[in-house]
């Protein structure tokens, strides 16, 4: 995918992207507010690379995730789904070191993160996670596949979809609709900037709403 497209998504408001996905894809694209930035406030944009985990009692490392960290293209966003209510960390300091070494953009987790102080202090790497936990997946969860469709909060995420995120949350943009979503998000941004100026100049929120029909 054109790198300029990714960078353009980095420059538009997350809320505008969410609204554009609503309208163009006719479905929600934003994840639950529980999946929030835990280690950095930096805005992210990149192509999804995916990992699926499941419950286990085997004491095995998250091999699919480890391999993907090493093999994914620079700028990728690694997205991990556990398919359950996982109050354990599916990401930590060593995985972050590998992600930084290989130029990954961020991690988005349907689970918890640990080693937050280390990640903030040493790497500043953005991790969006459902929670924080010192607990390990070893003996509790195992990875079963990578680069497959996964689901988080009812949102299907395909490898190659665009992931954008900041302090407002995370939005998934289906790859097939990326150009249309970007164009609409840019239009929404422009209209909101003009509307805000009118509200300030006129001293009236209702006048801005009447002129632009947007809230």
Q: How confident is the model at residue 13 (pLDDT cuts 50, 70, 90)?
A: very high
Answer whether 142's CB lies under 8 Å from 46's CB: no
Q: N- to C-terminal Cα distance for the chain? A: 33
Strand, coil or helix: 145: strand
Summarised one tens digit per residue, pLDDT across range 93-103 is: 999 999 999 99
Summarised one tens digit per residue, pLDDT across range 87-132 is: 899 999 999 999 999 999 999 999 999 999 999 999 999 999 999 9
Q: What are the residue boundaries of the structural domains of the chain, listed by start? A: 3-173
| Class of domain 3-173 (CATH, top level) | alpha beta
pTM for this model (two decimals): 0.92
Average pLDDT of 169-196? 92
- What kind and span of H or E run contains 132? strand 131-132
Answer whether 114's CB lies under 8 Å from 132's CB: yes
């Amino acid at each position: 995918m054109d790198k300029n497209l990714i960078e353009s998504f980095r420059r538009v408001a997350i809320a505008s992207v969410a609204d554009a996905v609503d309208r163009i894809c006719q479905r929600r694209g934003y994840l639950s507010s529980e999946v929030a930035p835990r280690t950095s406030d930096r805005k992210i944009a990149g192509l999804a690379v995916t990992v699926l985990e499941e419950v286990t009692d085997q004491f095995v490392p998250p091999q699919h995730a480890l391999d993907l960290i090493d093999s994914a293209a620079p700028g990728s966003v690694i997205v991990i789904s556990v398919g359950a209510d996982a109050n354990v960390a599916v990401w930590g300091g060593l995985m972050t070191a590998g992600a930084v070494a290989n130029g990954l953009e961020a991690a988005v987790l349907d689970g918890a993160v640990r080693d937050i102080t280390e990640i903030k202090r040493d790497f500043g790497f953005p991790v969006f996670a459902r929670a924080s936990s010192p607990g390990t997946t070893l003996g509790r969860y195992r990875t079963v596949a990578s680069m497959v469709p996964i689901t988080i909060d009812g949102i299907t995420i395909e490898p190659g979809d665009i992931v954008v995120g900041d302090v407002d949350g995370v939005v998934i943009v289906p790859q097939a609709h990326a150009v249309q979503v970007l164009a609409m998000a840019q239009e929404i941004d422009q209209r909101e900037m003009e509307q805000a100026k009118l509200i300030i100049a006129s001293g009236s929120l209702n006048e801005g709403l009447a002129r632009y029909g947007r809230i």
